[in-house]
Structure formats: structure tokens, C-alpha cells
Amino acid sequence: MRIVLLGAPGVGKGTIASLLSKKYGLPHISTGDIFKGAIRKGDELGLRVKSIVESGNLVPDELVNQVVRKRLLQEDASKGFFLDGYPRTVEQANAMDKFSKPDAILNLNADRKTIIKRLSGRRVCTGCGAIYHIRYSQPKKEGICDSCKGKLIKRKDDDESVIANRLDVYENQTKPLIEFYNKRKSYFEIDSNYEMEDIDRITKQCEDALSKVK
């Protein structure tokens, strides 16, 4: 199964995709993780996208298409995947249809207040990139990563002003994508307005939707 997860930043795509990935035995592929990993490494791709990502804007379609197509050609994705963070524009969706048309599209929805609360409390390890949250997923020692003992920081793109910009960018540039996919029988709306303690309610909706995919 080739599954795309849509939704605004902070709606829970990464968390849900990771859970579904384990259940179905398919890789969770996140364009955000690909770009942030490149930024940490300081490689050519990282240098190209660093200022774009930190400002909350979208990486140009042509570059994203190249990166995703290359990733989906890897062996672990040959039987399917859960793709988080792509496509984000109609142009990207058209490109994906040509190299790996999705079998299902899950669109996660949450209100603006919920999203800002989730993202503004997020902390990221400067060493390994592990993600924590001051409310939902706290480290054993405050400010220190459990895995590599790296320092936990609040990313620039998790400041409330940048979050607001990211949501505005999403609404202005990405919402037309919903109209593009909404015409397909493989498109499903998922209510993501739940606390992390009730995350099973979100994954259950996704599993019910995927049971309808042939």
C-alpha cells in the first residue's frame, strides 16, 4: 500500500504514520525528517533548504519531487510506505501520480489552537534529532535526550509566530491539494482533535479507512 498522510503542521501526521508503519510493516517516510537530517549534516541539500525550513515556508516543488522520488526508489519502499509531508501542492501531487500514485490519502484535521499547543511544546535533540514534548513525551532528565544525552532545544520553526506563519502558508498553498484529492474514492477525512492519551481514536479511523482500500 502506498499511503499519503495530509494535514497541517502539528496535526500529528508523523506520530500517526509511525504507529501505522509498525502495524503494517511498511516504512514511514517523512520529507520533514529528510530535510532536517540534511540540515544537521550540513550537506548540499541541507544548505539549500535551511533558511526555507526555519522560516516556515515550503521547499520548491521541483526540489521536493526529486528528493521524494529518489527515496521511494529505495528497496524498503518497494512494497509500499506511509508518506508524511508530501505532496503539499497540486503540482507535487501531479508529479507523484506519475512516479508512485498513492493507493489512499488520509487527511488529518485539527483546529488551530490544538496545533499551536502541540508544536510550541515540542523539543528536539541537537544530537540525534529525537523529538520530545514538555507535556506529552518528557525526557527522563529535563533538557537532556534519553538516547544520546544530547541537548534538547526548541526549534526556531516551533516558535508561536513561526507556527502561525506555517499554518498560513499551509492554508494558502496546500488546501487546494485537498480539493484535488477529494474527488477520489481513496480519499479519507480523519479527525485528529484528540489529546495524545486518546491517540487510538485517530489510528482507529485510519485503520478503518485503509480496510476499504483494495
Q: Which residues belong to the active site?
A: 13, 88, 122, 155, 166
- Reported as a single tens digit per residue, the pLDDT across 200-213 is 999 999 999 999 98
| Separation between Cα atoms, residue 37 and residue 77, nearest integer Å | 19
* Structural contact between residues 107 and 176, judged by C-beta atoms closer than 8 angstroms: no
Query: Cα separations (Å) of 66 from 7, 11, 92, 94, 102?
Result: 22, 25, 10, 13, 17
* pLDDT tens digits, one per residue of 27-82: 999 988 888 878 888 877 777 878 887 776 778 888 888 888 988 989 999 999 99
If DSSP states are collapsed to H, E and C, what string results for 38-101? Answer: HHHHCCHHHHHHHHHHHHCCCCCHHHHHHHHHHHHCCHHHCCCEEEECCCCCHHHHHHHHHHHC
SS3 content of the chain, % helix, strand, coil (to 5): 50, 15, 30
Question: What structural domains and CATH numbers belong to the chain?
Answer: 2-110+159-210 (3.40.50.300)
* Model pLDDT for residues 152-167, shown as the tens digit of each residue: 998 877 788 888 888 8
pTM over 0.85: no
